[in-house]
Chain A
Amino acid sequence: MSRTAPRLGPTAPKKLVEDGDICPVCKSSRYLNPNMVFKVNPECYHKMCESCVDRIFSHGPAPCPIAGCRRTLRKARFKKPNFEDIQIEREVDIRRRVASVFNRREDEFDTLLDYNNYLNEVEDITFNLIHKIDLDATEKKLAAYADSNKQSIQANVSRASQETTSFQARQAAEREQERLRREAARRDDEEKKRILEENRRNILNTLATTDGDANRIAKEGQRVALKKSSARRALTDRRPDVVASDPFTAATANGNADGGAFVIKGLKKVVEPEAEKPYDPFGGLSDETQYYVLQDTYQYEDVDKYMSDVQYTAGGYDFGEWYSRALCEAFSGLGVFIGEETSGRDAAAAVPIAMAATAATVVGVEKSADDVF
């Protein structure tokens, strides 16, 4: 508390006369117009107040009114900057633009190294764009990538939007709560501010004000009118340029071939999710036998005598299970071909002795089974 209180005192009035609060175009200051809002155009990032934007650009594209800047600006692209530092505003805009094109995700890559390489590549492009290094080539690269990866970009965009919507749905209630809280806080804040402003205006009213140089203002207006006409001319001049740039972008495909291409390594193959199969409770396994068909009853005196015994019936003993077991055991020797097994054993001298021992027992079983047939 003791640290912040003395700082607030001197800075608050100082801010009014600071450079940032005077519009560089119309020179009106926040001091006179407390509701002044500054806007920038991402074309050149020159700051100007909202009324200037309305005044100059309402009738269509016009050149930037800042001296030395000849870029044509459109009203629609003007926006309120998020950051005080216009360099940061620009960097963020560029990053946003790059991120909207290079929107691959980690899970699209085979290895972490591939993903990191990709991120590095993207950061190189971003850095070049921000620091205006190799601007043409980099822009070309970006456009070429956007062109050739339209589908995956679109897929990732829709994926992201899906995620956000589900996230939003989940947190909707929470956000609503937060909003209400914020609203209350803001109302509180505004009330305070309003009182403050009122005080300030009262002070202003009591002060006498002198008019600025009327001559200069008139000159300024003339110059803007001049620029507007010249801008229109420039625009018509530039139009063929725009058309000419079309084959130029087409040429980027060729430019790709000679090494300037943006190649992503280690991308996973996109696997289409398999259609969901109906659930099989047996898990694909069957207990069908191929050698015999199980009858409901068999004539077998040794067993028949138990069938009427209540100890068996009430206990849940299932004679069908016994039949199926007996049959299975009877047929288990089928399909063993001694010839194949012994020849296989002779051929491969490396068969473990233990295996040979098992084979020997198998032979024994089979011989007795042979008698049946």
Chain B
Amino acid sequence: MAVSPLPLYNASPRSNKTKPLTHRPNPKGSSADAASTPNPKSKASIDGVLDLAERLNAETKSQYIKGKWLGKGTYANVYEAHLKSNPSQLFAIKKMIVGAEAKDGLSMDSIREVKYLQELSHPNIIKLHAVFSSKNQNLNLVLEHLPRGSLEQLISEGDIQYGSADIKAWMGMLARGLHHCHSNFILHRDIKPGNVLVAADGELKLADFGLARSFADPWTRMTYLVITRWYRPPELLFQARHYGSTADVWSVGVIFAELVIRKAWMPGGSDLEQLHLIANVVGLPTEDVWPGVSKLDGYIKLTKDPAAPQTPVQHRQQMQREFALVGPEGVDLLMQMMALDPRKRATAKKVLMHEWWNMEPKPRRKEDLPRKVEKSKEGMADALKRKPGELEGGTGRGDKVARKIDFGAFGR
């Protein structure tokens, strides 16, 4: 509607709820015809109870056909779905679980997710196609279908091999997604490898906006109980109530490090342990490096392990050794993203302007990126069903082609 490049956020709560139902471009335009009935009451009177909102909801709901169950999260069940009009177009339906924390209707998570995802449209952010409610006022989010797992699986699965070009490509996508969030004034606040999903074409997508919020006004306080602990920046661990977008950058920095070392970088068991890990791995938060840190509510005086690098020079050398894979520029970027003082930390934009992106090796093209090896139960079942003597991939194209013998190879 507006020509302004940035979306508008001060919509009233009422319009927020109706928007997902009305705002979605119709994939087939079928519902536009139905909705064009001049008087909504005429149909409502036939149906007896349906009002406009309910009718629109039923319309949206009828466009999708829910398929098999894909998995369960803390707050939601996820199902595969496809369009009624086009079964080849797949979606994922996230059905929010009505739980204890949603006594008065919708859970905060789902409202946040809907509120922010519907505003964002970017190749590196999961796309919200539609929202509808099913029976018991369950909220269903129709999301992009991302079949290739998450970054977490790419990092932890040993049989996937990748190099610095792949890391650069992945980090680029992740940083672009984050930059788009931030340039639309949205804090993600739960960035972790498990929330970065891989699309069918290899593109990474930032998902799970259940903890997102827009940038706070100076006079409002934000909660510090966000972001999964291993990826939580020190200012949140020190219970800062007023933080900025650089909190997300810390999380992306940790993911960067984990992509290189392929294991959890700072797996703290508790908030205190997490702080100690940060002190040893990233550096000691003192008044020198972070003016005002001791005034934060949750500040705890930390001490460093004697084994940890003591001086900044030693620290940089240690990082250079540990993250040699991405080169000195990559380490420099990582250290900028892992600055203890949130004001000195690079913003998403500064991350994208770093020289590392222009260094060799070039980021891998997304279609060449390594992908997760499919080892599902179905795959096993297929293997068992196969007739003896039949080759793997018996339905491949090659089988339909007459076998071609290479006569040129004879007698060489």
Contact = CB atoms under 8 A, between A and B. Distances in A.
A325 interface: yes
B357 interface: yes
B33 A106 contact: no
A93 to B, nearest CB: 8
A25 B353 CA distance: 82
A334 B352 contact: no
A314 B408 contact: no
Q: Which of A116, A328, A362 has the most CB of B within 10 A?
A: A328
Overall SS of chain A's interface: helix
Contacts of B245: 318, 321
Interface in B290-315: 290-293, 295-297
Nearest to B295: A310
B241 A285 contact: no
Interface stretch (A48-56, A95-103, A216-224, A225-233): A95-103
Nearest to B353: A281
Contacts of A357: 18, 22
B241 A315 contact: yes
A321 B1 contact: no
A112 B1 contact: no
Nearest to A120: B402
A354 interface: yes
B218 A312 contact: yes
Given A282-B179, A312-B242, A119 B404 contact: yes
A247 B178 CA distance: 70
B411 interface: yes
Interface in B11-38: 11-12, 15, 18-19, 21-23, 31-33, 35-38
Contacts of A298: none
A276 B165 CA distance: 15
Contact of A352 (B35, B347, B349): B35
Contacts of B240: 311, 314-316
Contacts of B10: 329
A334 B5 CA distance: 11
Interface string B223-238: 0000000000101000
Interface stretch (A30-38, A195-203, A286-294): A286-294
A314 B9 CA distance: 27
Contacts of B5: 287-290
Q: Which of B33, B246, B292 has the most CB of A within 10 A?
A: B292
A119 B296 CA distance: 76
Given A311-B240, A317-B218, A352 B176 contact: no
Interface in B216-260: 217-219, 233, 235, 240-247
Nearest to A326: B217
A352 B247 CA distance: 42
B295 A311 contact: yes
A243 interface: no
Interface in B86-123: 122-123
Contacts of A69: none
Nearest to B409: A96
A316 B397 CA distance: 57
B274 to A, nearest CB: 17
B402 A355 contact: no
Contacts of B32: 350, 352
A265 to B, nearest CB: 16
Interface string A120-150: 0001000000000000000000000000000
Interface in A302-341: 302-303, 306, 309-319, 321-322, 324-325, 328-329, 331-336, 341
Contact residue range for chain B?
Answer: 35 or more
Nearest to B398: A106
Interface in B319-363: 341-343, 345, 347, 349, 352-354, 357-358, 362-363
B180 interface: yes
A338 to B, nearest CB: 11
A351 B36 contact: yes
B406 interface: yes
Contact of B290 (A99, A314, A328): A314
Contacts of A352: 22, 31-32, 35-36
B408 A311 contact: no
A328 B243 contact: no
Interface string A339-373: 00100000001111111011001100000000000
A278 interface: yes
Nearest to A362: B1
Contact of A316 (B1, B15, B343, B402): B343
A313 B343 contact: yes
Contacts of B297: 311
Contact of A311 (B3, B19, B296, B411): B296
Given A311-B240, A315-B243, A332-B6, A99 B185 contact: no
Contact of A99 (B172, B242, B362, B406): B406
A311 B6 CA distance: 29
Contact of A328 (B6, B21, B31, B218): B6
A196 B400 CA distance: 50
Given A99-B406, A287-B179, A321-B215, A336 B1 contact: yes
Nearest to B404: A119
Contacts of A316: 233, 235, 240, 242-244, 246-247, 341-343, 345
Given A310-B292, A325-B215, A116 B180 contact: no
B391 interface: no
Contact of B3 (A123, A334, A349): A334
Contacts of B1: 336, 341, 358, 362
B397 A291 contact: no
29 contacts: A92-B411, A95-B405, A96-B410, A106-B401, A112-B397, A116-B401, A119-B401, A279-B363, A282-B176, A287-B5, A287-B183, A289-B5, A310-B296, A311-B241, A314-B290, A314-B295, A315-B296, A317-B242, A317-B244, A318-B244, A328-B185, A329-B9, A331-B4, A335-B2, A335-B3, A352-B22, A353-B52, A355-B22, A358-B1
Ranked nearest first, the 6 interchain pairs of A and B with the lowest CB-CB distance are: A316-B342, A335-B3, A315-B240, A314-B292, A354-B22, A318-B244
